[in-house]
Chain A
Amino acid sequence: MTITSMPSNTTNPQPRTGPWWANRTFGTLVLAVVLMFVMGSLRPDKDVGMYPDEYWARKITWERCADAVLTGDSRVLIGVAPQGLGPMLPYRQIYNFAFVANRYSAEYLDAAEKLLIPESRRKAVFIGITPHSLTGRTDDAMGHYLELKKMSPRDIYVATHFGGLMYFFQPMSLRDAFHGLFPSQAPTQTARDYRADGWVAVHKTPLVRHEVKRYRKILAERSVSQEVIDTVTAYVQRWTRQGIRVYGFIMPSCKEMVQVELELSGFDPEAFAAAFTEAGGRWIETDLDAYESFDGSHLQKEAALRFSKDLAQAVSLYEQETPSAATSQAKAESPDVSD
C-alpha cells in the first residue's frame, strides 16, 4: 500500500462480530498513539517554562500589566531578563515585550505603551536597539510581532489552553528523534526557558557565530531606515512628555557582528544616541562585545543575566537623580494616584 493507493473498493477480512476494542482499526490507533508518545518524548531540545505557543499567545495579548516595558527584537527577547533588572530598579512589574525579527513601528510602539499600567506612578520604556530593528518593513519579512497580531481570538484561546498539546505534537524529524535518544550525538544542545515575564532564556552549546554570516546577507539587502528612526524618536518625545522614562541602549552581540552591522547597515550609533537624547530619552552606553553570545547575535542565558544587572546598575544611577521635570509634570497631572 502506498500513498496514492486508496483502498476504497478493497476490504480486508475482518470479523464482523466481537468486542469493539479487539478490532483492527482500534488496535492500529492504539499503536499509533503509543508510537506518538514514544516519538514525542524523544524531542531533543526540551523547552522548560511556559509552552511556546501559550507563551506567544499570552504575550501578544498583554495589556496594563507593567510599570516598565522592554522593547526590541530577538536580541532583547533573549538578552534582557526582567528578573536581572528588577532588584536594582524601582519598578514592580517589568515585562519583556520583545519579538523575533521585530522592527520598530508605530503599531508596535503603541502596543508596548498599552502594557503600561496607567495608574502606575513610575513608568518606563526600555528601547533595545539593533540595526535590524531599525530597518524598514518589507512584505516578505513582516516580523513575528505582526504575524502574531494576525492571530484570531480563537487561535489565541487554543494556543493558551492547549499549548502543551501543541508543543508535544510540534513537527520533528527522525534525525531529531535520534538525537533525543542519543543526546551525545546531537551537534548542538539547546535549552530554552519561556518565562512568564517575557524573557526567553537560552543556553546553547557549542558556541558558534552562524548569525554573523546571516546578518551579512540580510543587511546587504536592507539598511536602517530614517523613517523608522524618526518614528522611534517621536515616541521617545511623546512618552517623556507624558512622564514616562525612556531608556535606550544598543544590544550587545559579538565583535564580528558589531563590525558587520557598522559596515553594512548604515546605522550611526552616535547620531542615533544624540537624536534619542534630544527627544528626551536617556541613553545608556553598553559594552557591545563583553558578553557571551551563543550564535554571534544572541546572549547566552548567564550572559543575559549579567548584562541585565549591568543595565540595571546604569539605569539606577539615573533613577537616583532628582525626579525630572517630566515626572513632576506627570504627578501634577494625576495628583490622586497612589503608588
Chain B
Amino acid sequence: MQFNSLIFILFAGLFFAGWPVLKRRHTTRWVYLVVASFIFYGWWDWRFLFLIIGSGLIDFFAGLAMQRYAARRKLWLVLSICGNVGSLAIFKYLDFGIGNLNWLLGAFGIDAQIPATRLILPVGISFYTFQSMSYTIDVYRGLLQPTHNIFHFFAYLSLFPQLVAGPIVRAKDLLPQLETVSEVSADERWDGLNLIVFGFFKKVVVADTLAGTVNAAFAAPELSPSAGYWWIVMVMFAFQIYCDFSGYSDIARGLGKWMGYEFPVNFRNPYIASSFQEFWQRWHISLSTWFRDYVYIPLGGSRKGLLRNQVNLWITMLISGLWHGAAWHFIFWAIAHSFYLTVERFTAWPQKLMRLPGGRHLATLAVFVLTVLAWVFFRAQTFGQALDVFRMMFDFGNLKFDLAYRLIDNNARNVLLIIIGSQLFFHLGLDKGQWTASRSRPKLAFDSVFIAVLIVICVFNRAPSNVFIYFQF
C-alpha cells in the first residue's frame, strides 16, 4: 500500500493503536512488526511475499551457518549473494539481457528472437535485497552477530516504513534497535510529526503537482519545440524526483521515530551542493554509502592510485545506474555522473570557482544545471527520446517562453517557485537564523500552527495521486 492512500492512513492508525501494548515483549513485538509489514507489502500483490520470504530465509540461514561453520563462511556468503543477486537478475534484469542479446544476435545476422519473460517486477525489490545482503556481509565481516530469532530477522528485513523505497538501513544499525523497547519522548513524537508532514507535503503537493506537467511533456506524441519549455520541464523533474523520493524517506523516518527507531538521513538538500562529490554526499545517502562500503572500498577505493580509483568509481556508478533500472538510459545517467566526478577530480573546478567572488553561488548553479542535464537520461523513456530532449533544450533559437507559459499548468509554476525559494533559503543559510533556532513560546506556537496548516494543505491541495517513483526500483 502507498503512504499517500486512505488505506495506509487507516492501516497506520490501527498499527499505532496496537503498538504501545504489543511492543513490550520481544517476540510479540517482532511478530507484530512482521505481520503488519507483510500486510503492508502484500497489499500490492500477495505473491510478492514469497520472494521476500525466500530471499530472507536464504540470508537468515546463511547468517546462522556462517556462525556455526566458521571455516566455510565464504561459501555461505557466496550462496547468500548469489541468492539475492539471482533474484534481482531474474526479476529485474532478465528481459533487459534478453533484449540486448536479441539485438546482438541480430547484428551478427542471427535471427533468433528469444522471447521476453515479462515477469512482474516486485515493488521495492532492489531496496530489500540490498538490505538483506548487508546482513550477511556484515555477519561475514564479523561486524554483526547473526540473530537466532527468525521473527527478529524478518522484522528487520520487512519493517514497513522503509521496506519499499528506503532509506536502506544496515542490519548492524537496525537489528540492535529492534531488540530494545524505548519509550517515545515528546520531542521524538514532534520530530516524527514534522518529518511525516514535510514528507507528505513534498510528495502530494510538490512532486505530484510537478508530475502532471513533466509526465505530459514526456508522454506527448511529438515533443514541444520550445527550449524554454524543456528547461522548465527538466528543472521541474529535478525537484519532482527529489521531493518524491526524499518525501518518502522523510515519512519513513517519521514513522520510525513514532515507533522508537532511528533510520538514517537519506537526503541533505542535494541541490545546494557546490560540487558533485558533495552532491553524492547529500543525495540518496543510504544507497551511496551502501555502494561505498560494499562495492567501491572492496574494489580498492582510492588506495590503489589515481587511475584505479577512477576505474573503481566508474564501476560503482555504473552498478548504481543499473540498480535504478534495467535500461540503457539509466546507464547513460550513471555515465554522465561518472564523467562529472572524474572531470571534477582532475580539474578541481568547483574549488577554483569558489575562490572567485560569488563563486560558491556559481558552483552551486553549475552543479545544478549539469545535474538537470543528467536527469534527462533518467527521465526519458528511451535513449532516443533523451537525445530529442537535448536537441530541444539546446535549440536556443527556439526559446519560446510564451509557449512554455501556455503549456505549463499554473499550479506547477507556483509550486516550482515555492521550491526554488526554499532552496535559496537553505543555500543562503537562512535556516540557521536566530528565529529558526528560537525556543520561545511564540515560536513553538508558530511551529504548531504552521504544521497544522501544512497538514490541511496536504489534504486539500494535493495533486492527483502518483505512485512513488522509486517503487519501480
Contacts and interface: CB of A to CB of B under 8 A. Distances in A.
Contact of B187 (A1, A11, A177): A11
- Classify chain A: how many residues form its interface, as a range: 35 or more
B193 A29 contact: yes
A40 B455 CA distance: 13
A167 B189 CA distance: 30
Interface stretch (A13-21, A204-212, A233-241, A256-264): A13-21
Contact of A32 (B422, B425, B452): B452
Contacts of B348: none
B186 A15 contact: yes
B435 to A, nearest CB: 10
Nearest to A14: B186
B452 A1 contact: no
Interface string B175-219: 000000000011111111111001001100010000000000001
Contacts of A3: 198, 201-202, 206, 243, 418-419, 422
Nearest to B187: A11
Given A3-B418, A172-B460, A12 B190 contact: yes
A165 B461 CA distance: 16
B448 interface: yes
Q: Which of B43, B243, B267, B451 has the most CB of A within 10 A?
A: B451
B451 A32 contact: yes
Given A12-B439, A25-B186, A165-B6, A1 B459 contact: no
Interface string B451-473: 11101100111110000000000
Contact of A11 (B190, B431, B463): B190
Nearest to B183: A16
B450 interface: yes
A7 interface: yes
A145 B38 CA distance: 33
- Classify chain B: how many residues form its interface, as a range: 35 or more
A146 interface: no
Contacts of A158: 6-7
A288 interface: no
Interface in B408-447: 418-419, 421-423, 425-426, 431, 436-437, 439, 444, 447
B189 A5 contact: no
Interface in B1-31: 6-7
- If over half of B's interface residues share one DSSP class (helix, strand or loop), that class is named, otherwise mixed; here it is helix
Contacts of A31: 448-449, 452
A36 B456 contact: yes
A8 interface: yes
A243 B450 CA distance: 65
A25 B425 contact: no
B269 interface: yes
A7 B448 contact: no
Contact of B6 (A16, A24, A25, A162): A162
Contact of B186 (A23, A140, A177): A23
A171 interface: yes
A338 interface: no
A165 B265 CA distance: 34
B461 A171 contact: yes
28 contacts: A2-B421, A3-B202, A4-B246, A4-B419, A4-B422, A5-B431, A6-B253, A7-B194, A8-B253, A8-B265, A12-B190, A12-B444, A16-B187, A25-B193, A28-B451, A28-B452, A29-B452, A31-B449, A32-B451, A32-B455, A35-B453, A36-B455, A39-B460, A158-B6, A166-B6, A172-B460, A173-B460, A177-B460
Given A31-B448, A171-B463, 15 more contacts: A2-B426, A3-B206, A3-B422, A4-B269, A8-B253, A12-B187, A12-B439, A14-B187, A16-B185, A18-B186, A23-B186, A36-B456, A36-B460, A171-B460, A171-B461
Closest 3 CB pairs of A and B: A14-B186, A32-B455, A11-B187
Interface of A: 1-8, 10-16, 18, 23-25, 27-29, 31-32, 35-36, 39-40, 140, 154, 158, 162, 165-166, 169, 171-174, 177
